[in-house]
Amino acid sequence: MSKQAIGLFDSGVGGLSIWKAVQQLLPNENTIYLADNKNMPYGDRTKDEIIALSEKNTEFLLENNVKLIIVACNTASTNAIPHLRRKYKIPFIRIQPAIKPAGLQTKTGKIGLLATKGTLKSNMLEELKQIIPVKDVEIIGQVGKGLVEIIEQDKSSSDESFDLLTQYLRPMMEENIDQLVLGCTHYPFLIPQIRKIVGNGVNIVEPSFAIARQTKRVLQESDLLNQQSKFGVHLFYANKDIRILSGILKDYANVHVELKNF
């Protein structure tokens, strides 16, 4: 069973920020990545819709005999993880906004959170606010409407993305944030543009390597680490378009990208 793949799903290419960290930390693991780009973005959907799509993605990965599933989408994690863990016996790794580490590092007491509407409205965000280790920390939330679509259209470096990010980030800068939490796995693709706007005085916080380390811990505890000496094989499936996936992954070895109905 240890040679079975790690499964990951997202509404598109955003979860690749998580996959890259997992592949770097665990190069011998096989992976299967599911991009449900036919139904993206998840952030504008209802909780019931998100749960239904997450179930469908989970069952596709289970049919492909994965040993663990990373829900590589903040919106799906915040809205569907409790349900998935009740319904399925496989281990799930959840993604959540890195509010706690940002709370530990802030000097101004102001944290910006750029996320989808689905994440900002979720119960998990309220729970995370309660565990901030420093008192009197203010979280300034902003819905990143349109950003997922820009990334999925391969326009991360465009003037359109810069203008939209400026609209979202300038008010946070005026509030004197010194931490910016990226609450969607798509948003790390925008870090070069974000850095142009916020400068070097703002720490950008995203969870990819923390998730990779958590994945390794769970595999070790479950005796599921792949002990093979060769590099893993990586399968990627999308149900609408594979061009962006293929372009991002073109420099990786042992990768197969396929358009598939699911």
Q: pLDDT for 73-117, tens place per residue?
A: 999 998 999 999 999 999 999 998 888 889 889 999 999 999 998
pLDDT for res 228 = 87
Would 6-95+208-259 and 99-205 be classified into the same CATH topology? Answer: yes
Task: Give the residue from 53, 71, 55 showing the smallest Cα distance to 63.
Answer: 55
184 is catalytic: yes
Residues sharing a CB contact under 8 Å with residue 243, sequence separation 6 or more, in sequence order? 154
pLDDT at residue 262 is higher than 80:
yes
Residues sharing a CB contact under 8 Å with residue 82, sequence separation 6 or more, in sequence order? none
pTM score? 0.92
Q: What confidence category does residue 133 fall into, taking pLDDT thresholds of 50, 70 and 90?
A: low
105 is catalytic: no
Q: Into which CATH architecture does domain 6-95+208-259 fall? A: 3-Layer(aba) Sandwich (3.40)
151 with 12: CB under 8 angstroms?
yes
- Which tens digits make up the pLDDT trace of 235-254? 999 999 999 999 999 999 89
From the list 18, 50, 184, 219, the catalytic residue is: 184
Q: What confidence category does residue 123 fall into, taking pLDDT thresholds of 50, 70 and 90?
A: confident
Altogether, the residues listed in the chain come to a count of 262
Which CATH entry fits the domain spanning 99-205: 3.40.50.1860, 3.30.930.10, 3.40.50.300, 3.40.190.10?
3.40.50.1860
Task: Give the residue from 144, 86, 84, 134 showing the smallest Cα distance to 111.
Answer: 134
- Which tens digits make up the pLDDT trace of 28-39? 999 999 999 999
From the list 73, 115, 177, 257, the catalytic residue is: 73
Separation CA 90–CA 171 (nearest Å): 42
Separation CA 57–CA 224 (nearest Å): 22
Separation CA 35–CA 151 (nearest Å): 13
9 with 36: CB under 8 angstroms?
yes
45 with 108: CB under 8 angstroms?
no
- Which tens digits make up the pLDDT trace of 11-50? 999 999 999 999 999 999 999 999 999 999 998 899 999 9
Separation CA 232–CA 6 (nearest Å): 10
pLDDT at residue 71 is higher than 80:
yes
